[in-house]
Structure 1
């Protein structure tokens, strides 16, 4: 919200919270409310698990927000203002991973989610739920009613993810011709950097932060958020919000397709875990493995 107000000061921000959050996080919310134009408490039944309440609100938000709106996940930072001419359909989103589901690097994991919640939307265009445009229209209201209904059904599995049910709604309303926002509205940097330079909104996925927070992009690092919780939005943080294209904390390099495929392997995951443990002073067998591999390499090179 702070970054949005920086790039678009006249933006009208609506914040929706459940009753319990309104009671339990009053001091935190008071600091947040200075960026908010409209604050709405949504009645969510006590039987809904805490982890599910945000999804309950998200899938039913069309009931509580008047007018056209652009829904935004919290793990995002704004780079440039919106262009209202881009909002051409009743409900719009951006492809997850900026690619068709058939070529998605996490296709197997996504299909595993479908099985977990007994919900396969059967779509080619799998839309990410982090940024969604909604017109205040009968079509949009029907869309959200369907999404919420389907999400309630999938939640009975004990898994509260909302993207399979979201894409069921897209499929039933639009078929295979799902209307898409330009990729710059949801630049998913953990998936692709294709839209980063011209991004309007950068989606950095804090859910992907590792325990030691070693991601290259500052907003993905656990240490960054611990600093913000302690110090608030000090000058250094504000400067990053004003320059999100430059918010890198460590050296980075571009990897090609071979490196990306290697990173999906169990071998890479094992070695990386051992190396990470070594760096942070934990017990690790990395030095032993490195020594063995070095000797094997010398033998093969010599041959």
Structure 2
């Protein structure tokens, strides 16, 4: 079952006393390291910026662990611990999904899983839901099943008889997980369903995540959009973002430097350091881009004054063009 709404603070009980930082977990499978290792390093450094003493765990496969060790990649010194797990495959996508779906069995205690393209900008040691085994946010910060997910959902319904949440589809890039028997059972079911989907040629783990949620194995809380804000979404963000999620997988291995993530990676590759000033500006402005990128994104970020100014300028230019004809 799932419960709680992201439509107001009263709808979800969030812990405010005895707050404690959960373990932060990342998964990386990239034996050639490169962009994805640098991305993971930047995401981990962003957590260190907020919480210098955080317990950060990197879960990886054997080839990636060897590459980090032999190449002396900075990531090995940024994280607190590296857990190496055989995956039985050379396919990095399949390997990473295998690790993500067994993560609960590998890590002790409550943890927050973050995709490597998720940049935390506000403290992570408070305001996680109580009374639930897991907490996730809506995919693309919107209601319903996104169009790009529908083909796989329809295939799994037809081939395996799976059910999905009727009015929501959840994103697996930010997951808060309690150390409860139900959470362990949920991950076992998620992994089992992912293996079934993989047998049909579906490598993604998000369809199996949503189907496991619909199966009612555990109690699921819905995170507010601010805890997993999809920067490419045009949905208007309510509140101040705590985690910017850039979804780099859709960009074909290139992260534009006009995004905060792309800028941070470029700076890390050049200097080996995190551009904390850029993160501070993005946090202050609630704006994860390095320049003005259009009316829709200004509105989505809640920058209504700048959006109004930009809109007015466009209208004036159109009027001037018509009058000059």
For normalisation by structure 2, the TM-score amounts to: 0.67
Answering whether residue 223 of structure 2 is matched by residue 173 of structure 1, we say: no
Task: Indicate the SS of the match to 1:179.
Answer: strand
Matches within 5 A, 1:92-241: 92-101=135-144, 107-115=146-154, 118=159, 121-123=163-165, 124-173=167-216, 178-192=220-234, 194-195=236-237, 198-209=240-251, 216-220=258-262, 225=265, 227-228=266-267, 230-234=269-273, 237-241=275-279
How far apart are residue 153 of structure 1 and its match?
0.9
How far apart are residue 184 of structure 1 and its match?
1.5
Which of the residues 293, 296, 306 maps onto 1:252?
A: 293
Distance 1:17 1:64 in 2: 11
Distance 1:204 1:62 in 2: 24
1:273 is aligned to none
Task: Indicate the SS of the match to 1:198.
Answer: coil
2:35 is aligned to none
Sort the Cα spacing of 1:135 and 1:200 in 2 relative to 1 into closer, same or farther, 3 A. Answer: same
Which of the residues 91, 97, 109 maps onto 1:67?
A: 109
Distance 1:216 1:193 in 2: 20
Q: Aligned residue pairs: how many?
A: 248
Distance 2:150 2:76 in 1: 39
1:266 is aligned to none
Check the 8 A contact 1:94/1:181 in 2, yes or no: yes
Sort the Cα spacing of 1:129 and 1:199 in 2 relative to 1 into closer, same or farther, 3 A. Answer: same
How far apart are residue 84 of structure 1 and its match?
3.3
Sort the Cα spacing of 1:54 and 1:196 in 2 relative to 1 into closer, same or farther, 3 A. Answer: farther
Task: Indicate the SS of the match to 1:173.
Answer: coil
Task: Indicate the SS of the match to 1:67.
Answer: coil
How far apart are residue 37 of structure 1 and its match?
1.5
Which of the pair is proportionally richer in helix?
1
How far apart are residue 56 of structure 1 and its match?
0.4
Sort the Cα spacing of 1:5 and 1:230 in 2 relative to 1 into closer, same or farther, 3 A. Answer: closer
Structure label with greater radius of gyration:
1
Check the 8 A contact 1:121/1:165 in 2, yes or no: no
Sort the Cα spacing of 1:42 and 1:155 in 2 relative to 1 into closer, same or farther, 3 A. Answer: same
Query: What whole-Å deviation, never above 9, does each CA across 1:204-255 have from its counterpart, x for those lacking one?
Result: 111233688657523257xx64x346414347x3422343335533332223
Structure 1: any 5+ residue segments left out of the alignment? 257-297
For normalisation by structure 1, the TM-score amounts to: 0.72
Distance 1:182 1:112 in 2: 27
How far apart are residue 70 of structure 1 and its match?
0.7
Which structure carries more relative contact order (alpha carbon 8 Å, separation 6+)?
A: 2
Check the 8 A contact 1:131/1:186 in 2, yes or no: yes
